[in-house]
Amino acid sequence: MYTSLNELEEQCRQCKRCGLAETRTNVVVGVGRRDAEVMFIGEGPGEQEDLSGVPFVGRAGQLFDKMLAAVGLSRDMVYIANIVKCRPPHNRDPLPEEQDACIEWLRGQVKLISPKIIVCLGRIAGMKLIKPDLKITREHGTWTEKSGILMMPMLHPAALLRNPAQKPEAFNDFLILRDKINEICEHTM
């Protein structure tokens, strides 16, 4: 396995395990605090993320940053990654075989960072990491424990841009997260 996040990131940038490597501009490994107690995981990079190499920097990322700030968090307090590290063409959902090809990178990140809480942003991340039949519109904001890590699915910021009426529900999920951070985390808030 990997002895450091730097080693994992370097190897991940060379990855050609699936066809997404052929069309990427940048590998989007992750960003944030390397000993974060809270880790956010989305589905995959979009166009702006592919161009910059940083997760959640487009319109959805700007909304995500506002929601973090509303509960006293910032990017430098958490770690942000995705299920797949390369942009699927036309921002389509990552295919199961692409997720499977990339999941070892994410497992390595989780092992090295060792978060207490993982927040799955959107249906794809929730189904891959929490349970395959997850219903994001019904189950967002609920806690599950897996391998000693508390996990919560949340509505994806991009979905909130498409359906602003869901923003109050999403904000409530951030309040639930804030309360759990205050309960179990030592250095996040």
| Residue 5 DSSP code | H
CA distances from 46 to 25, 50, 62, 75, 146 (A): 11, 6, 13, 18, 28
Domain containing residue 162: CATH number = 3.40.470.10
* Domain annotation covers residue 17: no
* Domain annotation covers residue 56: yes
pLDDT of residue 116: 98
Identify any residues that bridge with 39 across adjacent strands, giving them in sequence order: 79, 118
Query: Can you tell me the distance from the alpha carbon of 83 to that of 100, in angstroms, rounded to the nearest whole number?
Result: 9
Query: Can you tell me the distance from the alpha carbon of 82 to that of 106, in angstroms, rounded to the nearest whole number?
Result: 8
What contacts 166, CB < 8 A, 6 or more positions away?
Answer: 155, 159, 160
The range of the structural domain enclosing residue 174 comes to 44-184
* Domain annotation covers residue 121: yes
pLDDT of residue 187: 74
- Helix, strand, coil % in the chain, rounded to nearest 5: 50, 15, 35
pLDDT of residue 189: 55
* Domain annotation covers residue 161: yes
* Domain annotation covers residue 99: yes
Domain tally, the chain: 1
What proportion of the chain, given as a percentage, has pLDDT over 70? 99
Tell how strand 38-42 and strand 117-121 pair up. parallel
Among the listed residues 184, 108, 97, 104, the one whose alpha carbon sits nearest the alpha carbon of residue 148: 184
pLDDT in tens, 63-115: 999 999 999 999 999 999 999 999 999 989 999 999 999 999 999 999 999 99
* Domain annotation covers residue 63: yes
Query: Which backbone phi and psi does 80 adopt, to 5 degrees?
Result: -125, 130
* Domain annotation covers residue 122: yes
